Amino acid sequence: MLKNRIIPCLDVKNGRVVKGINFVDLKDAGDPVEQAKIYSDGGADEICFLDITASNENRDTIYEVVKKTSKKCFVPLTVGGGVRTIDDINKLLNSGADKVSINTAAVENSKVVIDSSKKFGSQCIVVAIDAKKNGEKWEVFTHGGRNNSGIDALKYAKQMEDSGAGELLVTSMDKDGTKSGYDIELMKKITSNVNIPVIASGGVGTLDHLVEGINSGASAVLAASIFHYGTYSINEAKEYLASKDIPVRI
Amino acid sequence: MNVTIVDYKSGNISSVINSFKEVAKEKVNIEVTSDPNKIKSSDKVVLPGQGSFKSCVEALNNIDGLLETLNEFTMINKKPLLGICVGLQMFADIGYEETETKGLGWISGKVSKIDNQSGKFKLPHIGWNQINIIKDSEIFKDIENNSHMYFVHSYEFVPNDKKVISATTDYSTKVVCSVEKENIFGTQFHPEKSDKFGLKIIDNFISL
């Protein structure tokens, strides 16, 4: 039986982890390679790097990080943040990323999803959707949540599936950072509307939130702070999901 | 010993290279090339594959002499070859992804889309799934039955002779996830991304 995945996400800025795990035995708490290795040894089903480097001249730092991580971690590695062109995707894949997530560029021009999934295969193209509720619908935001595109998130999700995305990474902007749980209504609507796997993101504060995320139809749950700050280990999260009859890899 | 990973410019093979280098350490030389002469002189070959069946077959055909060399290596010299994902799928006679495309014909059968039971199952089949080992295989030495492996695919290899199947995995149907026919080995899952058990399979192949 296919297992539900738990994916810890690391924010990387100028090649360094922001909000990293505070473990005493860590030699360098800001080293993304070391942190990713801790997660993969701890049973993470996949590792996600989100590059939040703002300046263009420092953007190449992510390639070095990916290169080093992929030599040490033998679980899938997804990298997103600032991915604009086919060339960006190519460089990340060549550095050792297994999947690349595309956000703003996919909203601005869906051709990048169509072309990249044809060129590299759908299996490595993840479309990241940042959605915020507005009345009865959800709208897609771009540029790290700063700009409202006004596009309907449910329609957009379907359009991205048709364009060749292999997976959707759906983040609720209303919930992100609140620790009050995923936006279950949004996840349910999107997962029932597409036939590709959906990764739920934004809002996890407790292990029950992970359970709710999976029960909303998501194939995988992504979380950052509950793992970074050592509130729970990956293994604790998995044991808890298993105790709620959710199939996980233990 | 020389193990060659065939780089035929289709998809991303860095993870395959990294994992083989990790396992090989200093004892085995890992070569990454599409040069037919280097392939001829190697002891073992790894055939990765990403993207569609059609694009992979076309990419193999695009490199002068590569297909003939692989045929000779596998079918005449009977040296060990490991196909991964679409690398395994290409063993078939025919594939139906995008359009009908002729495969290598090393193991008789076809590659068709996984039956998602009218949308009940998501495709691609992405994530960790357990393998049911149904045949003793050298590459599964010290691998426990029901071990988890990492999968990413929407198409499956359906061999005509079921005796070549060494493992299956349960999704919408029983999906063939590993085959073995004499010197030809293949995994639908990605050993290079399947953590320590995956690395063990790679080690087993290198140690054949």
Q: What's the pLDDT at A29? A: 66
Count of A–B CB contacts within 8 Å? 96
Please answer whether residues B168 and B177 qualify as being in contact, where contact means their C-beta atoms are separated by less than 8 angstroms: yes
Answer positive or negative: Cα dihedral of B160, B138, B10, B2: negative
Whether B192 is a known active-site residue: answer yes
Whether B85 is a known active-site residue: answer yes
Nearest to B17 by CA among B200, B153, B192: B192
**In this complex, do B14 and A40 lie within 8 Å of one another by their Cβ atoms?**
no
Residue B137, judged by CB atoms within 10 A of its CB (0-12, 13-18, 19+), counts as middle
Q: Which two tokens stand for residue B127?
A: 């994530």
Measured between beta carbons, which residues in chain B are less than 8 angstroms from residue A165? none
Residue B202, judged by CB atoms within 10 A of its CB (0-12, 13-18, 19+), counts as buried
- Catalytically annotated residue among B56, B85, B177, B180: B85
- Which of A4, A120, A166 is facing B11, going by the closest CB pair? A120
Q: What's the pLDDT at A25? A: 55
Which band of pLDDT confidence, cut at 50, 70 and 90, is reported for residue B6?
Answer: very high
**What is the phi/psi pair of residue B120, to 5°?**
-70, -30
- Closest-CA distance of chain A to residue B205, Å: 17
Measured between beta carbons, which residues in chain A are less than 8 angstroms from residue B125? 2
Q: What's the pLDDT at A205? A: 94
Distance separating alpha carbons of residues B159 and B165, to the nearest angstrom:
8
Name the residue ranges covered by the structural domains of chain A: 5-243
What 3-state DSSP class applies to A22? coil
What 3-state DSSP class applies to A9? strand
Distance separating alpha carbons of residues B72 and B49, to the nearest angstrom:
20
Q: What's the pLDDT at A144? A: 87
Which band of pLDDT confidence, cut at 50, 70 and 90, is reported for residue A18?
Answer: confident
Whether B56 is a known active-site residue: answer no
**Count of Cβ atoms closer than 10 Å to residue B68 Cβ:** 10
Measured between beta carbons, which residues in chain B are less than 8 angstroms from residue A97? 12
Q: Which two tokens stand for residue B129?
A: 């799934």
- Closest-CA distance of chain A to residue B42, Å: 24
pLDDT, tens digit (0-9, with 9 covering 90-100), for B40-90 = 999 999 999 988 899 999 999 999 999 999 999 999 999 999 999 999 999
**Count of Cβ atoms closer than 10 Å to residue B142 Cβ:** 9
H helical segments located in chain B: 14-24, 36-40, 53-61, 66-71, 86-89, 195-206
- Catalytically annotated residue among B31, B97, B180, B192: B192
Give the helix/strand (H/E) hosting B94. Answer: strand B94-95
Nearest to A38 by CA among A12, A16, A11, A69: A69
- Closest-CA distance of chain B to residue A3, Å: 6
**In this complex, do A3 and B171 lie within 8 Å of one another by their Cβ atoms?**
no
pLDDT, tens digit (0-9, with 9 covering 90-100), for A86-135 = 999 999 999 999 999 999 999 999 999 999 999 899 999 999 999 999 99
Q: What's the pLDDT at A19? A: 64
Tell me the Ramachandran region of residue B85: left when phi exceeds 0, alpha when psi lies from -120 to 50, beta otherwise. Answer: left
**In this complex, do B22 and A71 lie within 8 Å of one another by their Cβ atoms?**
yes
CATH number (3.40.50.720, 3.40.640.10, 3.40.50.880, 3.40.190.10) of B2-206 reads 3.40.50.880
- Which of A74, A120, A219 is facing B126, going by the closest CB pair? A219
Planar angle of CA A112, A174, A32, nearest 5 degrees: 60
Give the helix/strand (H/E) hosting A241. Answer: helix A234-243
CATH number (3.60.70.12, 3.30.450.20, 3.40.50.300, 3.20.20.70) of A5-243 reads 3.20.20.70
Distance separating alpha carbons of residues A153 and A172, to the nearest angstrom:
11
Q: Whole-model pTM? A: 0.95
Q: What's the pLDDT at A54? A: 72
**A-contacting residues in B 169-198 (Cβ below 8 Å):** 170-171, 192-196, 198
Q: Which two tokens stand for residue A86?
A: 């086919």
DSSP one-letter string for B102-158: E---SS-EEEEE---TTTTS-SSEEEEEE-EE-S--GGGTTPPTT-EEEEEESEEEE
Mean pLDDT over the full length of chain B:
96
Mutate to test the interface with A, among B15, B16, B170 (most CBs of A within 10 A): B15
pLDDT, tens digit (0-9, with 9 covering 90-100), for A34-78 = 999 999 999 999 999 999 887 777 888 999 999 999 999 999 999
**In this complex, do B195 and A76 lie within 8 Å of one another by their Cβ atoms?**
no
Q: How far is CA B105 from CA A125, B19, B75, in A?
A: 30, 28, 10
Q: What's the pLDDT at B83? A: 98
Per-residue pLDDT averaged across B125-153, rounded? 97
Q: Which residues pair with B157 in a beta bridge?
A: B111
What 3-state DSSP class applies to A19? coil
**Count of Cβ atoms closer than 10 Å to residue A68 Cβ:** 19
Q: What's the pLDDT at B68? A: 97
Residues in chain B: 208
**Residue B101 in contact with partner chain A when CB distance is under 8 A:** no
Q: Which two tokens stand for residue B142?
A: 């010290």
Nearest to B38 by CA among B84, B7, B78: B7
Give the helix/strand (H/E) hosting A163. Answer: helix A153-163
A136-145, A166-175, A222-231: segment of lowest average pLDDT: A222-231
Name the residue ranges covered by the structural domains of chain B: 2-206
Residue type, A215: N
Mean pLDDT over the full length of chain A:
93
Q: Which residues pair with A127 in a beta bridge?
A: A102, A168
Residue of A nearest to B191 (CA): A74
Planar angle of CA B16, B20, B21, nearest 5 degrees: 115
Per-residue pLDDT averaged across B182-187, rounded? 98
Give the helix/strand (H/E) hosting B166. Answer: strand B165-170
* Rounded (10°) CA dihedral B51, B55, B57, B61: -130
Distance separating alpha carbons of residues B91 and A203, to the nearest angstrom:
45
Measured between beta carbons, which residues in chain B are less than 8 angstroms from residue A94? 12, 14
Q: Which two tokens stand for residue A126?
A: 């993840």
